[in-house]
């Protein structure tokens, strides 16, 4: 959607009351799912807590660490929440800056934090100007706090100040600082908050001590809402660009680490895209051969008639087109490591020669008569079942047992759910740098979907998805589900959105239906007959399907249908009797 700039605005409640836009777009984003124990606001998971329990925490922190520390903690907590909601507001109301800004107060009220009454609002995002005065009623922070001792003044609504600063700063792209200039807890008649650019405050330094310097350093993208950096369980993981903490993956890494200092041939097993070549390179880099060549060959990508010459070399005239002698991959990997990917697709004759190299440490070029000694460490990989191929005669048993002396199985990504956030973050860092684009991490819903996705393409597919998302997501915003998936049909949540009265969003349609029934004077049995008839028609006469549409059993449907038909028959008979 193309954003249409809105001109700067100036509102004063003394002239006309500043009216909030309809908040149904916000209410529809709040979802309750009792089945999974989750509450969502769009793609962010939410918590419904007792205000008294948060007040208790606040009191305990003040008692143990002091008022200044606690104020800073709650202010920064509000700031992070405000930044998240600002990204939602810009995405939800992209065409009108004023309505996007008013999302903040509306969300604050929807969450039960405080009632916000704007008195003055002057703003122009393109010029960077802002001035606002807001009265706050029913503030939970003010209600749970106690009146301050005589002589002690200052605000108590720390989270709200942080939220307003974070929300407006993120929306404007510059620091818009809010402060509570009047507070009921200080004996003032009301809670009045004023917001304006940082440079327009005389006591800015005093107020800034409660904000995180990192958060205010770049108001366009708070680091507070980014996913944490991966913490690798093994010291050498990060240095080799391997990410993973799941038990199965750690077990595979431990096996590779133990084999690295030896000469044994290693067989890496796993589905396509699990990172077999990267693990092979890691093994090479951890071994004493690290300074020597690492040569990779995809056995499935080379035609059968050329694979022998590619691996073992060829003398001049060995075949049509062989105009000069050339070494094979084994000779090129001298002293280092040869990685044979898709080893299961290696033709029979090449399997025999490979076995000889593994046993004797020597190769014979195609068309040659002499042998050459080679010192090469072989690492093979496959996504096929070599044991089954051996039984079917497609793979030599002696070669299989030679290679399978040290097998390492790499688990698919669907069995490494805890590693998905770490991998996604690593890919995000890589592609953000590649495309010189700042991205504010992943939304919680996006990460939830990633963790539930099956990933048939494994790590390679995840990498491609994150790269696509980095290209699509607007700068400084979070990656959403639609940035990751070109076409994704998410299972509907078990809960429903809130309406004006705190009911679920379906009640809007239900209320309209009830109003129509009552205003038209329709009898209950007429409504029931209409629903049953409509469901039966929409199901092509299938009683079971019709019952499912109405959320009842087939027996219940049949009972109601029979009851209505019997009543109709009785009415007809009664009418005929009266006529006679």
Weakest mean pLDDT among 33-37, 330-334, 438-442, 497-501: 497-501
Contacts of 310 by beta carbon, 8 Å cutoff, 6+ apart: 297, 302, 328, 329
In a domain, 354, yes or no: yes
Which of 173, 90, 170, 184 has its CA nearest to residue 140?
Answer: 184
Q: What is the pTM of this model?
A: 0.58
Q: Residue 170 in contact with residue 88, Cβ under 8 Å?
A: no
Q: 143-176: per-residue pLDDT in tens?
A: 776 544 444 556 788 999 999 999 999 888 889 9
Residue 107 sits in the same domain as residue 175: yes
Q: How many CA atoms lie within 13 A of 257 on its CB side?
A: 12
Left, alpha or beta for 458 (phi > 0: left; psi -120 to 50: alpha)?
Answer: left
Kind plus residue range of the DSSP H or E element containing 388: helix 386-391
CATH number of domain containing 533:
1.10.10
Note whether residue 448 is domain-resident: no
Residue 235 lies in a domain: no
CATH number at residue 403: 3.40.50.300
Instruction: For residues 209 and 277, state if they share a domain.
Output: no
* Chain segment 221-269, per-residue pLDDT in tens: 333 333 333 233 244 444 445 788 888 898 898 899 889 888 899 999 9
Residues 251 and 204 in one domain: no
Predicted confidence (pLDDT) at residue 9 exceeds the cutoff of 60: no
CA-to-CA separations, 232 to 124, 240, 246, 249, 546, in angstroms, rounded: 46, 11, 11, 12, 54
Q: Give mean pLDDT, residues 454-482.
A: 92
- Burial (CB count within 10 angstroms: exposed 0-12, middle 13-18, buried 19+), residue 343: buried
Q: Which of 410, 432, 463 is at the close of a domain?
A: 410
The reply to whether 102 falls in a domain is yes
Does 257 lie in the same domain as 287? yes
Domain check: are 77 and 188 in the same one?
Answer: yes
pLDDT tens digits, one per residue of 442-454: 988 899 889 888 8
Same domain, 148 and 25: yes
23, pLDDT greater than 50: yes
Instruction: Tell me, yes or no, whether 205 and 265 share the same domain.
Output: no
**Rounded-to-10 torsion of CA 400, 403, 406, 409:** -70
Structure tokens at 499: 């309406």
Least confident span in 177-186, 330-339, 363-372: 363-372
Q: What are the residues whose beta carbons fall under 8 Å from the beta carbon of 352, sequence distance 6 or more? A: 396
- Same domain for 21 and 157: yes
> Strand 337-341 vs strand 377-382: parallel, antiparallel, or unpaired?
parallel
Which residue carries 């939830």 as its tokens?
Answer: 448
Residue 541 CB contacts under 8 Å (≥ 6 apart), including other chains: none
Tokens for 68? 């200044």
DSSP string, 22-37: P-HHHHTTEEEETTTT
Q: Residue 439: phi, psi to the nearest 5?
A: -125, 135
* pLDDT beyond 70 at 306: yes
What's the whole-number mean pLDDT along residues 322-328?
A: 78
Structure tokens at 459: 């790590």
Q: 363 and 309, same structural domain?
A: yes
Report the C-alpha gap between 464 and 481 in whole angstroms: 14
Does residue 443 sit within a domain? no
Report the pLDDT value the prediction gives residue 267, as an integer from 0 to 100. 95
For residues 209 and 258, state if they share a domain.
Answer: no
Neighbour tally for 341: CB within 10 Å: 20
Domain extent, residue 548, equals: 523-579
Q: pLDDT tens-digit profile of 174-206? A: 899 999 988 887 778 888 999 999 999 988 888
Are residue 67 and residue 185 in the same domain, yes or no? yes
Radius of gyration of the chain (CA): 34
Of the ranges 110-114, 221-225, 396-400, which one carries the lowest mean pLDDT score?
A: 221-225
CB 423 within 8 A of CB 462: yes
User: 225, 258, 280 — which closes off a domain?
Assistant: 225
**How many whole angstroms separate alpha carbon 481 and alpha carbon 276?**
28
Q: From the CB of residue 511, how many other CB atoms can be counted at a distance below 10 Å? A: 13
Q: Which of 391, 410, 429 finishes a domain? A: 410
- Can you give the pLDDT at residue 152? 52
Nearest to 138 by CA among 168, 177, 111: 111
Size of the chain, expressed as the number of residues it contains? 580
- Give Cα 431 to chain centroid, integer Å: 16
Q: Structurally, how many domains does the chain consist of?
A: 3
Report yes or no on 129 lying in a domain. Answer: yes
Both structure tokens of 167: 């929300």
220 and 288 belong to one structural domain: no
> At 122, phi and psi to the nearest 5?
-125, 120
Q: Residue 167 belongs to a domain with what CATH number?
A: 3.30.1380.20
In a domain, residue 29? The reply is yes
Question: What pLDDT, on the 0 to 100 scale, is given for residue 493?
Answer: 45
Q: What pLDDT shows up at residue 521?
A: 76
Q: Which has more confidence, 7 or 378?
A: 378
* Per-residue pLDDT tens digits for 55-69: 899 989 988 988 888
**DSSP percent split of the chain into helix, strand, coil, nearest 5:** 50, 15, 35
In a domain, 512, yes or no: no
């Amino acid at each position: 959607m193309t954003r249409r700039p809105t001109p700067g605005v100036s509102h004063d409640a003394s002239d006309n009351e500043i009216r909030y836009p309809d908040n149904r777009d916000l209410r529809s984003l709040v979802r309750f799912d009792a089945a999974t124990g989750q509450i969502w606001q769009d793609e962010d998971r939410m918590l419904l807590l007792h205000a008294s329990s948060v007040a208790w925490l606040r009191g305990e922190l003040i008692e143990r660490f002091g008022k200044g520390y606690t104020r800073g903690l709650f202010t920064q907590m509000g700031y992070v929440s405000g930044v998240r909601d600002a990204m939602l507001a810009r995405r939800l109301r992209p065409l009108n800056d004023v309505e996007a800004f008013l999302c903040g107060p509306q969300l604050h009220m929807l969450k039960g934090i405080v009632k916000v009454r704007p008195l003055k609002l002057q703003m122009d995002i393109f010029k960077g100007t802002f001035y606002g005065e807001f009265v706050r009623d029913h503030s939970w922070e003010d209600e749970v706090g106690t009146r301050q001792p005589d002589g002690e003044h200052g605000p108590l609504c720390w989270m709200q100040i942080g939220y307003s600063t974070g929300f407006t700063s993120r929306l404007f792209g510059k620091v818009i600082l809010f402060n509570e200039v009047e507070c009921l807890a200080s004996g003032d008649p009301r809670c009045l908050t004023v917001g304006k650019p940082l440079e327009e405050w005389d006591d800015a330094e005093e107020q800034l001590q409660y904000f995180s310097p990192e958060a205010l350093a770049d108001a366009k993208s708070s680091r507070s809402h980014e996913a944490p950096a991966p913490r690798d369980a093994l010291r050498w993981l990060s240095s080799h660009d391997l990410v993973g903490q799941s038990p199965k993956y750690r077990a595979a890494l431990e096996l590779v680490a133990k084999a690295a200092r030896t000469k044994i041939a290693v067989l890496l097993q796993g589905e396509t895209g699990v990172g077999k070549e990267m693990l092979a390179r890691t093994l090479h880099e951890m071994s004493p051969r690290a300074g020597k060549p690492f040569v990779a060959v995809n056995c499935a990508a080379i035609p059968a008639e050329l694979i022998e010459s590619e691996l073992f070399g060829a003398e001049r005239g060995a075949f049509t087109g062989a105009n000069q002698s050339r070494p094979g991959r084994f000779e090129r990997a001298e002293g280092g490591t040869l990685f044979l990917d898709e080893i299961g697709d290696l033709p029979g004759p090449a399997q025999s020669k490979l076995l000889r190299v593994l046993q004797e440490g020597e190769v014979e070029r195609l068309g040659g008569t002499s042998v050459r000694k080679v010192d090469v460490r072989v690492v093979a990989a496959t996504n096929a079942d070599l044991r089954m191929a051996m039984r079917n005669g497609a793979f030599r048993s002696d070669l299989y047992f030679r290679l399978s002396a040290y097998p390492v199985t790499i688990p698919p990504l669907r069995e490494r759910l805890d590693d998905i956030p770490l991998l996604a973050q690593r890919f995000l860092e890589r592609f953000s740098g590649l495309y010189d684009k700042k991205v504010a991490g992943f939304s919680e819903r996006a990460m939830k979907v990633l963790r539930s996705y099956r990933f048939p393409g494994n790590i390679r597919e995840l990498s491609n998805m994150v790269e696509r998302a980095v290209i699509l997501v607007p700068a400084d915003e979070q990656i959403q589900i639609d940035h990751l998936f070109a076409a994704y049909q998410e299972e509907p949540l078990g809960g429903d959105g809130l309406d004006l009265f705190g009911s679920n969003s379906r009640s809007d349609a239900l209320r309209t239906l009830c109003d129509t029934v009552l205003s038209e004077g329709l009898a209950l049995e007429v409504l029931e007959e209409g629903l049953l008839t409509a469901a039966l028609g929409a199901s092509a006469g299938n009683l079971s399907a019709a019952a499912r549409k109405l959320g009842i059993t087939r027996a219940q449907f049949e009972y109601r249908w029979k009851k209505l038909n019997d009543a109709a028959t009785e009415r007809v008979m009664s009418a005929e009797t009266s006529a006679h």
